[in-house]
Structure 1
Amino acid sequence: MNLIISERGTFLALRSERLRLQVPQQEAQEVALRDLQTVTVTTTACTLSAEAIRACAKFGVQIDLVDGLGAPYAKFSSPYLVGTVSTRRAQMQAYLTPTSVEVARHAIRARLRNQASLLKYFGKYRKEAAPFAFEAIQKALPGLTALETELDAVQGSCIDEVRDTLLGIEGRGGVVYWGAVATMLPDDLGFPGRLGRGATDPTNMTLNYGYGILYARAAGVLATAGLEPFAGFLHTDRPGKPSLVLDFVEGFRAACVDRPVLALLGRGWRPELDEHGKMTPNTRKRIAGAVNDRMDTRDSVGNKKFRLQNIMVMQARKLATFLRDEGDYPVYVASW
C-alpha cells in the first residue's frame, strides 16, 4: 500500500505500529505500518512526527517528499538498508569497462520494448474506433524494432566511447513513440510533442508529475539493492542528477506512468491549475493515485505474477548482481 499526503495542514503521527493521519476537519485515518511500502508527501504544509519517521525507517517504509511539479526533493529512509559496499565498488569499477555499455544498452532496449508493448496495448482498442491512430501505431512498431537492431551493433570498451551514439538511438525512438501517441490524444490537449520540466501543456505536465513519483520510487529500490543512485551509465554525472535512476526508469516509464496517464487523459480527465499555473492538490493526488494504483497491479515475470513495484525491486537486485558479475540482467517487458 502507498500512502499519499496531499492535504494542507495534515499531521502524521505514530500510534502503536500504525500511522495516524489527521487532516483538519476530517476524521482521522490509521494505516498499519506492515501494510505500507511508501509514503508520498505532495504538500509543503504538513507535519511529520519524529516518531512516525523513525517507525517508517524501522519497517522499511520510504517517505518521499515531492514538489508541485512531481520532482522528488527529499527522502527519509533507514541508512541500514543500504549498508552493503561490494555492490557500489563494482558499480564504480564497471564504468570503465564494457559492462557500462551493456547497462546503457539495456536501458534503451527496455525503453524501446516497453514503448512498443504499450503502443500494442492501445492499438488493440483503436482498430475500429480510431483507424488513423491504429495506422500510426502500426507504422511506429517496425521503427522501434529497427532501432533495437541498431542498438545491437553499437560496441565500445566503455560508455564514454559510445554514449552519444546510444543517446541518438534513444532520441529517435522517442520521436517515433511520441509521434504515435500524439495521434491517440484528444485534440483539445494541444499536445506539442514530448517536453520535460517546465512544460505548460496538460499532457506533459501530467506526465512529468508522474515521472517524478516514479523517480522517487526507483531511487529507493536502487539504494536498497546497494546501488548508488547518482552514478549512472547512459546518463552523465552532474551534481544533483540521479543518473542511475534515470537509466533504470527507462524500462518502467511506459508501463508505470504513460499507461495510466494517457488513459486518464483519453477518458476526458484534465488537470486543474491554480492561479499561478501550478497543478492543484486534488490534481496531484489524482495523478499520484493513478501511478501508484498502476504500480500495485500484477504482471508476469517467467511463470509467476508480481506487482509492478516488486518487479522494480527484482530488477534493481538483478542489476546489482550483474554489476558484481554474479548473474544476468534480463529486460523486463510489460504485458499488453
Structure 2
Amino acid sequence: MTLKRFGYIRYADDFIVLSETESEARRAFEEAGHFLTRRLRLKLNADANVRNVNEGFEFLGITFRGMDRTLSEKKKEEIRERIAQAIVFHEGASLKGLFDTLAGIERYYGQCISQQVLEELDEWVIDCLKDRLDEAYGSGLVRTKADAAALLRGIPFLSQKHSLYARRAEHEIVAHCRKRRRRCNNVLTEPLRDPVRKKKRQYQKLESEGFELLVTTPGVFLGKTKKGVTVMKGGVKKYEAPLLNLKNITVLADGVTLSSSVIRHCAEQDVPIFFMNFDGQPYARLAAYDAPSAAIGLAQLRAFENGKAMVVARSVVAGKIRNQANLVKYWHKYRKHCDEDYANSFSERIGLISQLAKEAHTVEAPDIETLRGRLLSIEGRASSAYWELVEKLLNDDIEFEGRVRKGATDLVNSVLNYGYGILYSRVWQAVSAAGLNPHISYLHTEQPGKPTLVFDMVEEFRQQAVDRAVFPLITKGEELKIEKGMLETETRRRVAERVLERLNTVETFRGSETRLSFIIRNQSTALADYLTGKSTEYRPYCAKW
C-alpha cells in the first residue's frame, strides 16, 4: 500500500489506509481486499468499510473524529475494569499493581487522547480507591490515617490536572474514608431541643427570606412593579422579590441591567445595590447619596490626639481574637468526643488564643504607629493558632494548608475570600450610614483610595459572619467546585446564600435579640458615638458560643 502512495498504518492484524479522496479510498479498499484474499488467503472483517474522517472511525480502541481523539466506550470500560482489578488490599500490601497498570495506560494512550478523557479515568481511579480503602478500614487492614496516606503516596495519575494536584487527591481519598468511619453527625449545627425556641427560629428565618435579592444569572433585567422587583430574562419573568421586606440587592453576574425605577425605589427605601466580581470583591454600590458627617470626621481625626484611636485599635483586635476563641470553642463543644485530633489541638491552643485576647486589650505603646505594630503581632500569633485549629477541623474533608488572602487558588481560601468580600460590602454600607469617613482608620494604616476604616470594622465579624457560615458547606459534603483558581458559578451562589443567611440570623446581643446585619450597623453607630463623645466607651462585638 505504501508503494502505491497510500497512507498505511498497521498494528498486528489491525490496519487503516488513509487517502485524500473518497475514490482513492475505495480503490485502496478493493486492492487491500484482493491482496489479502489472493496472496495471504485472508479476508477483511465484515465491518471493514470506507469512512470519512469527520464521520469518525475506531482504531485500536481510539475513536478518531476530525482532529479529535477519544477512547471508545468499549475501551473505556475495559480500562476501568483493569484499574478496578488492580486495586487490591491485603496485609502488608502496596498499590504497585495499580501503579504499574496506570503507567502502562499512560505509555499507550497518554500522548494520543485528550486531557479530558484522562481526567475522567483519574476520577475513576479516585472513586475506586475510596471504595476499596473504605473496605480496608472496615476490615482492619488499614488502621490509621498515616497508613492510608503512605499507601496512596505517589499515585501516577494520567492527566496533567491530577498529576499537578496529586497530594490534594490523595488527601481527598483518605478524608472520604475517615469521614465515613467517624460517628459525629451534624457537628457544626447546634441542636435546638427547646420546641418553642426551634419554632421561633423557624419564624425568624422565614421572615428574613425576603430580605435579600441575589442576582446570579448573567444578562437579566431588573425592573419594578407595584408589588416587587422583577428579574426578567429574554422578556420572561423569572422571579419577583416583594418590596415589603426587601433590604438588599446583590448582583453577582455580568451583563445585568437595572431600570431607573428600581434605582429610585432602592434609594428612597434605603435598599443598597451591591455589585461583586467573580472573587467576591465589591466593585460598586448604588445607594442614596450620603456624604460623611463633618462633625464625625473631625472627631475621627481628633481621636489620634485624645487617645481614642488607640482604644479603638485595641478593641478591634481584642474583639477579633475573642470571636476566634469563641468559634473554636463552639466547634469543640460538638467535636470533643468524636474528633481526637481537633480536641487535642484545641486543648493546646485555646489558652494561648484567650491570653492573646487579654494582651491585645491591655497592650501599651507611645504612639499609634508603634501600637499598630504590636497589635498586628498579637493578632498574627492568635490567627496562626486559630488557622491551625481550622486545619484540624477540615482535615477529614479537604486539604487546607493555611490562610492565603490575595491570589488564592485552593477551594477553602477562595470560598473564604468570596465570603469576606460580601462582608466588606455590608460593613462599608454600615460605616457610610453612620456618617463615618471610611478612609480614616485606627488599626490599619491609611492607604490612598482604600476604605481602611472598613478594614478595621470587618475584623470583628470575619469569624462569626463568614467562617461559621461557610465551613459547614465543606464539612457536610456540599458540592463546591473551583476551576483554574476561580469558584464555579453555582459554588459562588451557594457561598453567597449561606453568608447572607448568616448575616440575617438573629443573635442575642447585649440583652436583646438582633440580626447580625443590624449588629454590624449598630457597631458603626457605636463607634461614631464614642468618637463624638455621646458614649464613654467602644465595646467590640463578641459572639456567644
Q: 1:299 to 1:245 in 2, by over 3 A?
A: same
Does 2:255 correspond to 1:48?
Answer: no
- Pair 33,87 (structure 1): closer, same or farther in 2 beyond 3 Å: farther
Alignment: residue pair count: 334
Distance 1:291 1:24, change over 3 A: farther
Deviation of residue 179 (structure 1)? 0.7
SS at match of 2:349: helix
Quote the sequence identity (%). 35
- Aligned partner of 1:126: which letter? R
Q: Is the 8 A contact 1:7 1:281 kept in 2?
A: no
Look up the SS of the partner of 1:189 in the other structure.
Answer: coil
Matched ranges for 1:144-183 at <5 A = 144-156=353-365, 158-183=367-392
Is the 8 Å Cα contact of residues 96 and 158 (structure 1) preserved in structure 2? no
Q: What SS does the aligned partner of 2:482 have?
A: coil
Distance 2:449 2:396 in 1: 37
Q: CA deviation at 1:67?
A: 0.8
Tell me which residue corresponds to 2:470.
261
1:128 and 1:27 map into 2 onto residues whose CA distance is 51
Q: Following the alignment from structure 2 to structure 1, what is the Cα–Cα distance between the partners of residues 457 and 485?
A: 31
Matched, 1:64 2:300: no
Contact 1:87 1:226 in 2 (8 A): yes
Give the superposition deviation at 1:120. 0.9
Q: Is the 8 A contact 1:68 1:279 kept in 2?
A: yes
Q: Quick one: distance in 1 between partners of 2:455 and 2:431?
A: 11
CA contact (8 A) 1:62 1:75 kept: yes
> 5+ residue gaps in structure 1?
none
- What code does the residue aligned with 2:242 have? A
Taking the aligned partners of 2:503 and 2:230, their CA distance within structure 1 comes to 24
- Equivalent residue, structure 1, for 2:496: 288
1: distance between equivalents of 2:325 and 2:341? 17
Amino acid at match of 1:85: A
Using the TM superposition, give the Cα deviation of residue 166 of structure 1 relative to its aligned residue in structure 2, in angstroms: 0.9
Please state how far the C-alpha of 1:133 moved relative to its aligned partner. Answer: 0.5
**Which of 285, 296, 306 is the matching residue for 1:75?**
285
Q: How many Å separate the matches in 1 of 2:464 and 2:496?
A: 15
The one-letter amino acid of 1:186's match is: N
Q: Which one has more relative contact order, counting CA pairs under 8 Å at least 6 apart?
A: 1
Q: CA deviation at 1:191?
A: 0.6
| Residue 417 of structure 2 is aligned to residue 213 of structure 1 | no
Aligned pairs for 1:285-324 within 5 A: 285-324=493-532
Alignment of 1:209-288 (within 5 A): 209-274=418-483, 276-288=484-496
Q: Which AA in structure 2 matches 1:220?
A: Q
Cα RMSD for the two superposed structures: 1.7
- Please give the alpha-carbon distance, in whole angstroms, between the structure 2 residues aligned to 1:258 and 1:55: 33
Corresponding residue to 2:297 among 80, 88, 91: 88
Q: Is the 8 A contact 1:202 1:270 kept in 2?
A: no
Q: Which amino acid aligns with 1:50?
A: S
Partner of 1:104: 313
Q: Give the drift of 1:215.
A: 0.2
CA contact (8 A) 2:223 2:231 kept: yes
SS in 1 for 2:487: coil
Once the 2 structures are TM-superposed, how far is the Cα of residue 83 of structure 1 from its aligned partner? 5.5
- How much has 1:157 moved relative to structure 2? 5.3
- Give the equivalent residue in structure 2 for 1:197: 406
Within-5 A mapping of 1:14-25: 14-16=224-226, 18-24=228-234
CA distance in 2, matches of 1:157, 1:223: 31
Whichever residue aligns with residue 229 of structure 1, its letter is: P
Q: Distance in 2 between matches of 1:287 and 1:68?
A: 12
Structure 1 residue 188, shift from structure 2 partner: 5.4
1:89-145, CA deviations, whole angstroms, 9 ceiling, x for partnerless residues?
211221344111111111101101111111011111111221210221222211111
Partners of 1:18 and 1:153 in 2: how far apart?
Answer: 51
Bigger shift: residues 211-220 or 12-21: 12-21
- Whether the 8 Å contact between 1:96 and 1:157 is mirrored in structure 2 is no
TM (norm. structure 1) is 0.94
* Contact 1:116–1:144 (Cα < 8 Å) also in 2: yes
TM-score normalized by structure 2? 0.59
8 A contact 1:33–1:56 mirrored in 2: no
Q: Is 2-11 or 211-220 further displaced after alignment?
A: 2-11
Amino acid at match of 1:46: V
The match for 1:124 among 324, 327, 333 is: 333
- Report the structure number with the largest CA radius of gyration: 2
Contact 2:460-2:541 within 8 A present in 1 as well: yes
Q: What are structure 2's unaligned runs of at least 5 residues?
A: 1-210
Deviates more, 1:69-78 or 1:29-38: 29-38
Q: Is the 8 A contact 1:33 1:59 kept in 2?
A: no
Match of 2:533 in 1: 325
